[in-house]
């Protein structure tokens, strides 16, 4: 039940710290990124100008997607640690309900991240690009929806690992190992036409680097999926990971 | 009496141990049912399976005559093993979560907190509570929604003597209201003081089950002997005819032992035998402790 999850989440200070940190880091990076030099040229106002504003911003935000993932891991593993998942089953919740509750939390965290991107984008768009609010908002839906699909994929993987491992630190280590090491190793052994469907590669392509176009011009097309093609893959992974979490919770003792 | 909980041939195996083996028992409606056994005897595992948190390796559980569901668990208030709460939330906030899960009105929270004497500290985070306070809060959570059945696993754990007396009083009061209570305990006198029925578990197996008065009565055993010149068989026959003499046994040395039905004394027995023309040369009573009986049950 969403109301019950809010009762757990709202008084949890760590959750607020992580969520505010996400927003603050995004705003600070967006403010500072204008000074970055690319190919000897300062990004400057180009970062905040339409039509690239939202693509640039969700690319920056994707660097911090691990923060809501860590928070979701803590929220799930805490419940194993406090044995409150067990107590809720004893009190009359079904195991499927428990998974559904955490899916609602993942949607809530994604909502916070999207609102943060929206607020930061609107602020910098208005103050630094000179565009009007209507034009800025009109350009937002596609990049934001792609970012939402990426976040849902990340959070689904985080939830699956949390249900599997049940302790916060090993789960966070496992997530980082998969994202940074394991999948890259797997990609090394797989041909391009298969490895572009691996979870991290498909998720990452949803928020492409603003420099990707330049790189493609220089190096030729990368063989990765197009962002639009990656959406069903990302959502497919999200559904698969949540179903696996439900299965794990169903077959295991609590 | 219809059964509230029916367990048949329940088995729970872990990799190297069998925690519960072929356990069958039935909890009658309105009873205070004690699940008695030493630590590690399988009490909590049995209740964990009954309450849906552990999967059985074999056997069946039925609540209220049907296969268990989340809805049937909401009719049962349970305290299993340890109090489980969010430490950063207050006592009241934790009970609100319990009430949500049980789908009961939060209006009962105040009463439950009063009942366990925690109303004055309801806004404090649970992380600062002692084990006894957490245990009382877990009892309050179990009582939310006034469930028709209560499952209490070692409910007096961590409580001081006054707390223990309060919990026993509470159990007796709830039982008097007609609720069924399943009480797991390793404390013999706890089970004897509050339970109407009991099952004794040892190493995952059922060793005895029935009315507490039958399996755990601290009955004294009476020893009798006639003068050496009388035929011992004569005493045995006479005792079988005495209606309040129970479980009469004849030892090879001619001594007969028996227990007396409640409300009867050795003096009455002596009088009854004298009326049959038998004069005793020896009459003594052997006081058997609950512990002796319990050990006898689990060692048989």
Number of separate helices (H) and strands (E) present in chain A? 14, 2
The region of weakest confidence among A82-86, A131-135, B56-60, B285-289 is B285-289
How far is B58 from B189, CA to CA, in rounded Å? 32
Per the DSSP assignment, residues forming a β-bridge with B10 are B23
Longest C-alpha distance within chain B, in Å?
80
| Average pLDDT estimate for A215-221 | 52
| Rg of the Cα atoms in chain A | 19
How far is B234 from B252, CA to CA, in rounded Å? 14
Q: Name the band, by pLDDT with cuts 50, 70 and 90, for residue B142.
A: very high
Other Cβ atoms within 10 Å of A131 Cβ, number: 18
Domains, chain B, in order of start with CATH, read: 3-215 (3.40.50.300), 221-299 (3.30.70.100)
Q: How far is B164 from chain A (nearest CA, A)?
A: 23
> What pLDDT does residue B134 have?
92
Whose structure tokens read 């919740």?
A: A93
Q: How far is A73 from chain B (nearest CA, A)?
A: 16
The region of weakest confidence among A90-94, A212-216, B168-172 is A212-216
Give the range of the structural domain holding residue A49, as residue numbers without chain letter: 2-251
Q: Which two tokens stand for residue A202?
A: 């498909």
Q: Which residues of B are less than 8 Å from A87 in CB distance?
A: 84-85, 98
Size of interface A-B (CB pairs under 8 A): 75
Per the model's pLDDT, the better-predicted residue between B292 and A185 turns out to be A185
Question: Is the pLDDT at B208 greater than 80, yes or no?
Answer: yes
> What pLDDT does residue A214 have?
55
Nearest-CB residue to A90 (from B51, B86, B97): B51
Q: Which residues of B are less than 8 Å from A251 in CB distance?
A: 55
Q: Is B123 part of the contact surface with chain A (CB cutoff 8 Å)?
A: no
> What pLDDT does residue A37 have?
63
| Average pLDDT estimate for A115-125 | 91
> What pLDDT does residue B300 have?
63
Per-residue pLDDT tens for A178-204?
Answer: 999 998 898 888 887 788 888 888 888
> What pLDDT does residue A40 have?
59
Q: Is A218 part of the contact surface with chain B (CB cutoff 8 Å)?
A: no
CB contact under 8 A, B78 and A91: yes
> What pLDDT does residue A75 have?
97
Q: Which residues contact A132 (CB under 8 A, 6 or more apart)?
A: A126
Q: Is A10 part of the contact surface with chain B (CB cutoff 8 Å)?
A: no
Q: Indicate the number of domains in chain A.
A: 1
């Amino acid at each position: 039940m969403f109301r019950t999850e809010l009762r757990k989440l709202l008084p949890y200070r760590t959750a607020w710290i992580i969520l505010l940190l996400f927003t603050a880091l995004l705003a600070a990076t967006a403010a500072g990124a204008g000074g970055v030099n690319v190919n000897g040229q300062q990004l400057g106002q180009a970062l905040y100008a339409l039509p690239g504003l939202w693509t640039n911003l969700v690319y920056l935000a994707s660097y911090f997607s691990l923060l809501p993932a860590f928070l979701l891991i803590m929220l799930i593993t805490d419940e194993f640690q406090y044995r409150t998942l067990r107590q809720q089953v004893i009190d009359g919740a079904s195991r499927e309900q428990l998974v559904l509750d955490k899916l609602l939390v993942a949607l809530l965290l994604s909502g916070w991240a999207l609102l943060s991107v929206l607020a930061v984008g609107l602020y910098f768009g208005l103050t630094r690009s000179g565009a009007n609010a209507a034009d800025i908002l009109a350009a937002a839906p596609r990049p934001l929806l792609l970012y939402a699909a990426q976040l849902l994929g990340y959070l689904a993987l985080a939830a699956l690992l949390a249900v599997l491992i049940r302790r916060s630190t090993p789960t966070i280590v496992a997530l980082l190992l998969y994202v940074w090491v394991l999948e890259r190793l797997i990609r090394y052994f797989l041909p391009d036409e298969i490895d572009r469907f691996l979870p991290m590669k498909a998720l990452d392509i949803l928020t492409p680097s603003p420099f990707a176009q330049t790189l493609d011009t220089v190096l030729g097309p990368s063989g990765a999926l197009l962002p639009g093609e990656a959406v069903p893959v990302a959502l497919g992974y999200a559904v698969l990971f949540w179903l696996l979490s439900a299965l794990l919770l169903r077959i295991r003792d609590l | 009496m219809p059964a509230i909980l029916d367990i048949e041939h329940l088995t729970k195996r872990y990799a190297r141990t069998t925690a519960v083996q072929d356990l069958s028992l039935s909890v009658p409606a309105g009873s205070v049912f004690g699940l008695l056994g030493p630590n590690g005897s399988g009490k909590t595992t049995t209740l964990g399976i009954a309450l849906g948190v552990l999967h059985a390796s074999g056997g069946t559980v039925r609540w209220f005559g049907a296969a268990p569901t989340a809805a049937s668990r909401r009719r049962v208030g349970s305290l299993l093993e340890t109090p489980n709460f969010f430490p950063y939330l207050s006592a009241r906030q934790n009970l609100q979560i319990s009430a949500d899960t049980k789908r009961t009105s939060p209006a009962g929270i105040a009463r439950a907190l009063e009942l366990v004497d925690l109303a004055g500290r309801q806004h404090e985070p649970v992380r600062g509570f002692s084990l006894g306070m957490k245990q009382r809060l877990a009892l309050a959570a179990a009582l939310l929604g006034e469930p028709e059945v209560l499952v209490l696993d070692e409910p007096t754990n961590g409580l001081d003597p006054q707390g223990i007396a309060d919990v026993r009083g509470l159990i007796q009061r709830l039982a008097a209201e007609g609720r069924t209570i399943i009480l797991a305990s390793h404390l013999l006198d706890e089970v004897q003081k509050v339970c109407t029925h009991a099952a004794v578990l040892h190493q995952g197996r059922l060793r005895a089950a029935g009315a507490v008065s039958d399996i755990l009565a601290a009955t004294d055993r009476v020893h009798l002997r006639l003068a050496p010149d009388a035929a011992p068989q004569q005493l045995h026959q006479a005792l079988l005819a005495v209606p309040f003499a129970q479980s009469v046994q004849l030892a090879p040395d001619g001594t007969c032992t028996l227990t007396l039905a409640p409300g009867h004394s050795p003096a009455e027995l002596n009088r009854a035998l004298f009326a049959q023309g038998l004069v005793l040369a020896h009459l003594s009573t052997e006081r058997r402790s609950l512990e002796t009986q319990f050990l006898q049950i689990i060692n048989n």
